[in-house]
């Protein structure tokens, strides 16, 4: 996947063309955006600016952060914050805050990749010891359920777009079987980042219609997921869009909460589902 980044900087010597890198913005092909600026570095550099200039610089950076966070909550990739707009901004300077020429890089937009580049070009924050995270409810349930159903479905199926004509890009399906129709299930954790949820949903739902066309019959598609807390605004917005979609209302896809996983296991038994690939 192509990701584009641009560095936000302020010139500190016009003649010597010295600059102070303060922030970074990254955009991927899906229109997802990540932005941060080094508040610690900016505060430590306060003496380089007069009072009005410093306040204006802080205001600019806070305004950008607010605008981009609202864009992310709305999941609106049509915002003018795209690679073309970044290119425009790189040619525009207000003598206080500038954008570097956008650079394309062949990596995914992830927290780890963003933090790596941010540490390299902007500011290396003090790292704290990382704790080993507990497995989420979805991950634990998946580990528990897959061994129980592997006689009736293929589990952890890797689908290669070059091999299967109903696949647009490589993906992994958690459960894949058939009786008189294809039967699939995917575990999706709505406690992860909104970008991860979007990718998992997009991957899975992209094969629904192509697989039905290939099999010349409707399929049975499940998603195991729990509604996220409404305090998690981005994740809950994706959940609401999913539940309001025709895929759910027309019963093309059925969402089962983790405490009702038995519904899927019962379906596999009652309909004598067999592995999709022998």
| 183 in a structural domain | yes
What is the Cα–Cα distance from 210 to 165, expressed in whole angstroms?
8
* Average of per-residue pLDDT across 68-96: 63
Longest dimension (CA), the chain: 78
How would residue 131 be classed by pLDDT, with cut points 50, 70 and 90? Answer: very low
Query: How do strand 103-105 and strand 3-13 relate by DSSP bridges?
Result: antiparallel
Question: Is residue 13 predicted with pLDDT exceeding 90?
Answer: no
Q: How confident is the model at residue 133 (pLDDT cuts 50, 70, 90)?
A: low
Q: Of 53, 88, 121, which one is at a domain's C-terminal end?
A: 121
Q: Let me know whether 164 and 232 are in one domain.
A: yes
Mean pLDDT of 269-276: 96
**Mean pLDDT confidence for 127-137:** 57
Domain assignment of residue 186, given as a range: 137-275
Q: What is the pLDDT of residue 15?
A: 46
The pLDDT assigned to 172 comes to 92
* pLDDT for the residue numbered 16: 53
| pLDDT tens column, 177-216 | 999 999 999 999 998 888 889 989 999 999 999 999 999 9
Residue 129 domain flag: no
**Domain annotation covers residue 132:** no
Q: Chain-wide mean pLDDT for the chain?
A: 86
Query: Cα–Cα distance between 182 and 158 in angstroms, integer?
Result: 16
Token output for 148: 């129980």
Same domain, 92 and 176: no
Query: For residues 215 and 66, which has the higher predicted lDDT (pLDDT)?
Result: 215
The answer to whether residue 154 is domain-embedded is yes
Q: How far apart are CA 247 and CA 156, in angstroms?
A: 23
Judge if 233 and 257 occupy the same domain.
yes
User: Bigger pLDDT: 137 or 228?
Assistant: 228
Strands (DSSP E) found in the chain:
3-13, 18-28, 33-37, 98-99, 103-105, 154-159, 171-178, 182-187, 220-224, 253-256, 274-275
Residues 95 and 165 both lie in one domain: no
- Whether this prediction's pTM lies above 0.85 is answered by no
Residues 34 and 109 in one domain: yes
Query: Are residues 48 and 94 both part of a single domain?
Result: yes
Question: Rounded to an integer, what distance in angstroms lies between the CA atom of residue 246 and that of residue 252?
Answer: 8
What is the rounded average pLDDT of the residues 155-169? 91
Cα gap 121→114, rounded to integer Å: 11
Q: How far apart are CA 265 and CA 263, in angstroms?
A: 6
Last residue of a domain, one of 121, 149, 184: 121
| Token reading at 146 | 């897959």
Query: For residue 131, is it within any domain?
Result: no
pLDDT tens profile 205-263: 999 999 999 999 999 999 999 999 988 888 999 999 999 999 999 999 999 999 999 99
Residue 252 domain-assigned (yes or no): yes
- When divided into structural domains, the chain yields a total of 2
The pLDDT of residue 202 is 92
Segment among 106-115, 125-134, 244-253 with least mean pLDDT: 125-134
| 174 and 269 share one domain | yes
Q: For position 209, what pLDDT does the model report?
A: 93
| Same domain? 232 vs 153 | yes
Contact 159, 167 (CB under 8 A): yes
Residue 127 lies in a domain: no
Q: 148 and 271 share a domain?
A: yes
From 91, 121, 151, the end of a domain falls on: 121
| 176 plus 62 within the same structural domain | no
Q: Are residues 161 and 218 in the same domain?
A: yes
Instruction: Measure the CA–CA gap between 33 and 31, rounded to whole angstroms.
Output: 6
Q: Highest-confidence range of 9-13, 44-48, 77-81, 241-245, by mean pLDDT? A: 241-245
| Gyration radius (Cα) of the chain, Å | 23
Q: Residue 182 pairs with which residues in a beta bridge?
A: 178
Top-confidence residue, 97 or 89: 97
Shared-domain flag, residues 74 and 115: yes
Other CB atoms closer than 10 Å to residue 8's CB: what's the count? Answer: 23
* Whether pLDDT at 103 is above 60: yes
pLDDT, residue 132, reads 47
Question: Coil, strand, or helix at residue 198?
Answer: helix
In a domain, 208, yes or no: yes
The answer to whether residues 89 and 14 touch, using CB atoms and an 8 Å cutoff, is no
Contact by Cβ (8 Å): 39, 143: no
Distance CA 3, CA 10 (A): 23
């Amino acid at each position: 996947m192509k990701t584009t980044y641009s560095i936000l900087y302020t010139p500190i010597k016009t003649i010597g063309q010295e600059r102070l890198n303060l922030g970074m913005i990254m955009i991927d092909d899906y229109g997802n955006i990540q932005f941060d600026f080094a508040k610690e570095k900016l505060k430590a550099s306060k003496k380089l600016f007069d009072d009005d200039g410093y306040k204006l610089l802080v205001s600019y950076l806070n305004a950008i952060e607010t605008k981009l966070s609202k864009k992310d909550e709305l999941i609106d990739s049509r915002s003018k914050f795209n690679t073309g707009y970044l290119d425009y901004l790189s040619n525009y300077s207000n003598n206080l805050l500038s954008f570097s020429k956008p650079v394309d890089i062949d990596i995914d937009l992830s927290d780890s990749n963003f933090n790596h580049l941010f540490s390299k070009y902007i500011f290396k924050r003090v790292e704290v010891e990382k704790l080993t995270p507990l497995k989420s409810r979805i991950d634990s349930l998946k580990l528990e359920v897959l061994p129980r159903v592997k006689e009736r479905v293929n589990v952890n199926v890797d689908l290669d777009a070059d091999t299967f004509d109903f696949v647009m890009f490589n993906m992994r399906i958690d459960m894949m079987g058939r009786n008189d129709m294809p039967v699939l299930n995917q575990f999706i954790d709505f406690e992860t980042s909104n970008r991860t949820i979007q990718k998992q949903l997009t991957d899975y739902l992209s094969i629904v219609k192509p697989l039905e066309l290939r099999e010349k019959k409707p399929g049975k598609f499940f998603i195991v997921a729990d509604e996220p807390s409404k305090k998690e605004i981005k994740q809950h917005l994706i959940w609401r869009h999913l539940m309001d979609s025709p895929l759910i209302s027309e019963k093309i896809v059925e969402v089962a909460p983790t405490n009702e996983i038995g519904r899927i296991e019962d379906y596999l038994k009652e309909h004598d589902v067999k592995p999709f690939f022998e």
